[in-house]
Chains A and B, each alone.
Chain A
């Protein structure tokens, strides 16, 4: 199912396909016509994706077929050894964690995982963690610190799960603790928002030295739907809320919430997952290489300072 604004693109792609097979069947030369249409297609894609509204980008960030945490793990990292369980409550499938090799070093990976189909989505709880998932992530932070390996987190969640057990087990407590433990890491930490950065549930694994985001990913304090339900009293006003929340990669770069925006292939990561994953790999390689020579205390300090600075306010004395 194409996203609504993708329909003209899909139509044109279908037309090119038809023309190709027609040319082959009839053994006639339509190369010129096809090239022309292809040029038009490229222009259409560029234009469409340059002009996407914030709400449309939310759709891209959530698009089926967009590479998930595990897709990145398998394509970018070698020798992945998944590590399960929080040693207290169980194992949360909404977060995948483990050890892997990347660019000649061992890294500790924490990836939020949505499903690639309905069955997996149910198994993964749509990428919404319970406290157990954050406890598992914290176990990974400790492991990374103990062995001196960098941490890579991949953020993709609508938010921490709002349920009875989650609340009873201290969802707020583990998110706060995870933020603290990650901020205290004495190893390099790089986070990449690959899809949806849903509020505290995302930030819990996002307290990194460098926070990267894919061009069409979003990161927000609240989902546009919930925001609309509160401020406009109607979840159907989500497009307005998305505009107001300034939740796109470019917005977040302007607010200093993210450090780097990773370009996606034209048409979005779901159109060319391999290319998207290559771009993420290249960015990760650069960031980790740059952090590799920093000493442990400087890394902790820099992360502390990065988050300590965030926010915009007015000094009233200066105004008066």
Chain B
């Protein structure tokens, strides 16, 4: 379980943290090639050698999707409360404060308006580097508000998910965010506005069991782990080895759970094209370009 790994680790490791800041080189976790980190970042966090999809920081994700200069942030005015006065090895507010400083935002989500090849959308991007992207009251509320505002502003909704699941430190209130995010999508459905979710590595637990899998269309990134129960939990329960590729995007595509597995360089065009088709419009030339490796010429985030 991704969240488990996040809470267990005492210092950042390569796979759980943004791979860009420290050091110049890294060894690719998929193909073992020595890669220059600047190249990784410039290639939208894809291994320049093998194309392995690294977890992507939220700002880079937005830059790779939103038309340049189009992103307008909505989230950021809500912060986590401590409804349970939760204390494990550390008090919940202290834990939050540390992560807030590291990630530079109040909780594990960024939402806002943007255009994708001129198609107006609301973007919801989860931050896995913030407490494992766990969903508590703030994440749930931001998603709900973004969905409702999208409906009001005649925008499609695009959610990029990455989460270890519900946030334990907010107890049953976290669980209730599954229902909250679900009901908040109703306005889009009523106005025939598309909602497309993109499941990225990892999308697990309560996030998978709510808004993430309620997209009119559901796409996923290559090799993304997508599950309800994590592989470790299942292994402990059934005490058997898990099949090769189990709970990965390609596996779930075969099982009929996804509309498609979309490599990152094609994601923006795929989204724009699908949204336009759903809304009864003809795709534009840019939507049909299959390869468009977005460099990180920063859209203003």
Which residue numbers of A lie inside 8 Å of B, CB to CB?
A: 160, 162-164, 166-173, 175-177, 179-180, 183-184, 199-200, 203-204, 207, 219-222, 226-227, 229-233, 240-241, 244-247, 251-252, 255, 257, 303-304, 307-317, 319
Cβ–Cβ contact B89 & A164, under 8 A: no
Cβ–Cβ contact B171 & A171, under 8 A: no
Task: Kindly state the separation between the CA atoms of A230 and B242 in the bound complex, as whole angstroms.
Answer: 21
Task: List chain A residues, Cβ under 8 A from B214.
Answer: 176-177, 180
Given the known interface contacts A164-B238, A221-B166, A244-B84, the answer about A255 and B171 at a Cβ–Cβ threshold of 8 Å is yes
Task: Kindly state the separation between the CA atoms of A203 and B7 in the bound complex, as whole angstroms.
Answer: 25
Instruction: Give min CB distance, A299 to chain B, whole Å.
Output: 13
Main SS at interface, chain A: helix
B14 at the interface (CB under 8 A from A): no
15 A/B residue pairs, CB under 8 Å, sorted by A: A162-B228, A176-B213, A176-B214, A200-B210, A203-B176, A230-B3, A232-B88, A244-B88, A247-B172, A303-B183, A308-B144, A308-B184, A311-B137, A311-B141, A313-B80
Cβ–Cβ contact B208 & A172, under 8 A: yes
Cβ–Cβ contact A175 & B228, under 8 A: yes
Task: List chain B residues, Cβ under 8 A from A255.
Answer: 83, 171-173
Cβ–Cβ contact B87 & A162, under 8 A: no
Which residue numbers of B lie inside 8 Å of A, CB to CB?
A: 1, 3-4, 7-8, 76-81, 83-84, 86-89, 106, 136-138, 140-141, 144, 166-168, 170-180, 182-186, 205-206, 208-214, 226-229, 233-234, 237-238, 240, 242-243, 246-247, 255, 257
Task: List chain A residues, Cβ under 8 A from B87.
Answer: 244
- List the B residue with the shortest CB-CB distance to A198: B175
Beyond known contacts A177-B213, A180-B182, A312-B173: 18 more, CB 8 A cutoff: A171-B229, A175-B209, A176-B214, A203-B178, A203-B179, A204-B209, A207-B179, A220-B171, A220-B175, A221-B166, A246-B172, A255-B171, A308-B184, A310-B137, A311-B137, A312-B83, A314-B79, A315-B78
Partner of B4 from the list A179, A230, A303 (CB cut-off 8 Å) is A230
Cβ–Cβ contact B176 & A316, under 8 A: no
Partner of A173 from the list B173, B174, B257 (CB cut-off 8 Å) is B257
Task: List chain B residues, Cβ under 8 A from A164.
Answer: 234, 238, 240, 242-243, 246
Cβ–Cβ contact B168 & A222, under 8 A: yes
Cβ–Cβ contact B7 & A231, under 8 A: yes
Task: Kindly state the separation between the CA atoms of A304 and B186 in the bound complex, as whole angstroms.
Answer: 9
Task: List chain A residues, Cβ under 8 A from B4.
Answer: 229-230
Partner of A233 from the list B8, B209, B234 (CB cut-off 8 Å) is B8
Which of A164, A167, A246 has most B Cβ within 10 Å? A167
Task: List chain A residues, Cβ under 8 A from B179.
Answer: 179, 183, 203, 207, 307, 310
Cβ–Cβ contact A170 & B255, under 8 A: yes
Task: Kindly state the separation between the CA atoms of A177 and B218 in the bound complex, as whole angstroms.
Answer: 14
